[in-house]
Amino acid sequence: MIAVEGNLNLTTGEALLSAASAAVGTGTTRLDIDLRALDDFNDEGASALVSCRELGAHLAEGLHYRTGRGPGREALLAAYTDIDLDSDVD
């Protein structure tokens, strides 16, 4: 599980992608991203969540986000607002 705290911005998003890539590289079968401790986010940070989806698409147990009410949930919704979720990820 990767927990993201504070502000999900460009810098935090890059760190999240790096951690997710490292986790996928170890042969993990499931990737959990916990957004419950987010205080705020911006568009660049939210876009990192979509990139994580691409990393987790080929895992046996997939990618799972943990959110509650508040910024974590809002970031996830913002990330996927303009994404066609019916298309396959390559």
The contacts of residue 54 (CB under 8 Å, 6+ apart) are 89
Strand runs labelled E in the chain: 2-8, 30-41, 62-66
pLDDT of 90: 46
Residue 61 φ then ψ, to 5°: -105, 0
Furthest-apart CA atoms within the chain: distance in Å: 32
Q: With a cut of 70, which residues of the chain have pLDDT below it? A: 82-90
pLDDT of 5: 96
pTM recorded for the entire structure: 0.84
Overall fold of domain 2-79: Transcription Regulator spoIIAA (3.30.750)
Query: Structural domain boundaries of the chain?
Result: 2-79
The whole-angstrom separation of Cα 87 and Cα 9 is 26
**Encoded tokens for 19:** 């951690």
